[in-house]
Structure 1
């Protein structure tokens, strides 16, 4: 059901060639405000924490060796940093190994039986088939913030078994990364204005990896007169500041669909106004209020006043125990049906506690699935506990390729209107609706299923 978006790849390939040349010109131009973080001969200014993996110096590089029986080990700066630009080169042995670079991070000194546990944002080094090098992970705290499924073209930037040039800009509440000159990840966060920088030797569960090494060299930093490198428009941003858009997101074409304090842009499905009951807007959150767990029996669904065709729509949602809701798209309201309005649905559900998860076929009614049609291929790392915020995303390309994401990971993809799609519809609860889900455009919908479910950070870009 997948096909290659050749026009996107060609455009991106041209952009990458141009950017790579610009990036490396920038990196090789001498400036007065670069400071070395490693003198090439000693580990002065650094200390090991968290684990027992050894760090040594070989041929002007810091070399960490993977070691059995120890948790993640880090060589961290004794000094803390706020705003900075960091550049270094990293080489990792093997394809089943892993490493990372900590930024503005901290140490829980009591953890790991007194050995300490590092936590904070990490720039990933990942030579495996997943290829998430340059993505951003929150070590020992929130998990993945920017899996590289959000910027798939950048997965090819990393060179296995070679030194890779890495650039990290941490300025204000923004972190951006580049791998070998290729723009990779962009996170806007609300935590950690300062902290140390660290070099990771990952723990290992496979004895065959013992002795594998990770090399770090040419480590330098700027902390004054920072000049940001251009980041091309159109790369997805994970913005963790509630109900806000950066200037970059606005320039890329994104708009907020919820301003955090009003129902502007939304009305009840099959209604002329926003529901008088059943929904609550408070503290920057829009919530379905609990009723009897029935479908559209209280305030009813709400829909956008605008309609959309090809689009990139992101949203955050928080479930209560046993909660059920959904985000629907291509809702035309032409059916004039009772209950929830008809449309393609990104399922929002407590899979463990709600019976709907066991209905349908092969799990196609579980969280992030295309409801009653295609099951979401979720991993444990993409799941958040009930009561925590989750990030959903639906992308509909102009060629009708549709992708669902959950917490940054791609969990399903299909082609709207294809023969395979029509076959799925013919075997589903939607089989009696003509041309189900194939309208040229439609409303977006937040579902009232009688359970308390909350939403925020609703943003959309027309494609």
Structure 2
């Protein structure tokens, strides 16, 4: 009987026995998942990294020329609060904790593949420990560009206390008492707990150790711990706000059902054709690729000055659109209304990506002004949903994000900003991009593009 079959049998037995069956009973409703002496209740998957016990801790030793290795519980868990301590002795030892982890025994030609939610241990300069990564599936869900203050929580060479709450569709993380990540997602409802030893590209790092100890879980009488700080939530729920967001002033700009709050950039009413609302999605239909020649742009009824704007968008092949802000509608131009623009574009197939200067017309860029400094692995393929975000602070600092990665930063009205404007298509407009307030705009560029989950918080 092979290892994958044994794991499946053990998981089945665990579910028959009950998802929250104890490993080693503890006090106050907690169950110890590790007795400090043996690896009973755990199974190694995928790679060949070694797991041994030293001084009451599980120690993972990196092995060269092997994929990521996981030590996973033989039981599955649904809702829980998990606490453990992790120490990484060298910055080469990327690690993490799988929660509601999954395993595909047929992947990699029958060698198997662990996938699913992973709470990161990142000892390198990037310092995204406590962020949430979707192992072997969607990639980063909550990178710490979204909560930079938490990047200092993890300490290399010391034991760090992780607290992970996964209750219903809400996953929250803490390191050493610091609030780190907040994700709302419904991909997996249950799964195993897993400890990772990452693959190593440099054979010289073989033998480096990652330590895990004081691993305990609680599965009954759970009370979610509220976040006290005001951090950004990543939610994959369509056109819906969490109670946490409502308490902190977020509001939906698109309710998923109607055009309420929106109008044409050219009139007081919503366009009668071209823009459709279906199945919770706001779509601009294809009309030949012309700029604002068919249905035209739409703008919010309200104007905004300092704000945090989040939106989901999905491109079709070769499509072009944009999300503009500080749109005043005062220029009287015949094409698309003028404003600062978060570019929404198929970089590979639309010619606009090759125009402008140094890539400043590519996806997530400040159009015609600043190129988005993005990594390809943070961009979802054409036909899949991406998450855009624009933050305008009261001091006029502006940031663009794509799927949680910050890719643009600038100061409206600064000397550097004005130099960029003077060398762009916008130089013909006085004080371009420096209005005190303006509308939010979704652009009709003649291509089919979809939007949903548009929400805003005034700062």
What is the TM-score when the length of structure 2 is the normalising length?
0.93
What's the counterpart of residue 355 of structure 1? 351
Q: Does 1:96 pair with 2:78?
A: no
Q: Does 1:290 pair with 2:286?
A: yes
Matches within 5 A, 1:237-386: 237-386=233-382
Q: Quick one: distance in 1 between partners of 2:27 and 2:252?
A: 39
What's the counterpart of residue 201 of structure 2? 205
Q: Does 1:457 pair with 2:457?
A: no
Q: CA RMSD in A?
A: 0.9
* 132, 142, 145: which one aligns with 1:146: 142
Contact 2:90 2:123 in 1 (8 A): yes
Contact 2:86 2:210 in 1 (8 A): yes
Contact 1:189 1:240 in 2 (8 A): yes
How far did 1:68 drift? 1.1
Contact 2:93 2:197 in 1 (8 A): no
CA deviation profile, 1:284-327 (whole Å, cap 9, x unmatched): 10011001101001100000001100000000100011010000
CA deviation profile, 1:317-356 (whole Å, cap 9, x unmatched): 0001101000000001111211100000000000011000
* 426, 436, 451: which one aligns with 1:440: 436
What's the counterpart of residue 400 of structure 1? 396
Contact 2:306 2:394 in 1 (8 A): yes
Q: Secondary structure at the match of 1:208?
A: helix
* 143, 152, 156: which one aligns with 2:152: 156
* 4, 9, 31: which one aligns with 1:35: 31
What's the counterpart of residue 10 of structure 1? none
CA deviation profile, 1:92-119 (whole Å, cap 9, x unmatched): 1212331110000110001123221011
Q: Secondary structure at the match of 2:194?
A: strand
Q: Secondary structure at the match of 1:220?
A: strand
Matches within 5 A, 1:75-224: 75-224=71-220
Q: Quick one: distance in 1 between partners of 2:132 and 2:380?
A: 17
Q: Quick one: distance in 2 between partners of 1:295 and 1:57?
A: 64
Contact 1:233 1:251 in 2 (8 A): no
Q: Does 1:426 pair with 2:409?
A: no
- Give the gaps of 5 or more residues in structure 1: 1-29
Q: Does 1:73 pair with 2:69?
A: yes
CA deviation profile, 1:28-79 (whole Å, cap 9, x unmatched): xx95101100000001111001111111111100011111111111000000
Q: Quick one: distance in 1 between partners of 2:371 and 2:362?
A: 7
Contact 2:314 2:451 in 1 (8 A): yes
CA deviation profile, 1:103-144 (whole Å, cap 9, x unmatched): 001100011232210111000000111110000000011111
CA deviation profile, 1:333-391 (whole Å, cap 9, x unmatched): 11121110000000000001100000000000000000000000001221111111000
Q: Quick one: distance in 1 between partners of 2:64 and 2:123?
A: 20
Q: Secondary structure at the match of 2:114?
A: strand
What's the counterpart of residue 63 of structure 1? 59
Q: Quick one: distance in 2 between partners of 1:444 and 1:364?
A: 21
Q: Secondary structure at the match of 1:388?
A: coil
Q: Secondary structure at the match of 2:349?
A: coil
CA deviation profile, 1:199-250 (whole Å, cap 9, x unmatched): 0011111112211111100000000011222311411100101110000010
Q: Which runs of 4+ in 1 moved over 6 A?
A: none
Q: Quick one: distance in 2 between partners of 1:208 and 1:353?
A: 42
What is the TM-score when the length of structure 1 is the normalising length?
0.93
- Give the gaps of 5 or more residues in structure 2: 1-25
Contact 2:93 2:210 in 1 (8 A): no
Q: Quick one: distance in 2 between partners of 1:387 and 1:96?
A: 35
Contact 1:233 1:248 in 2 (8 A): no
Q: Quick one: distance in 2 between partners of 1:208 and 1:264?
A: 60
Q: Quick one: distance in 2 between partners of 1:31 and 1:295?
A: 65
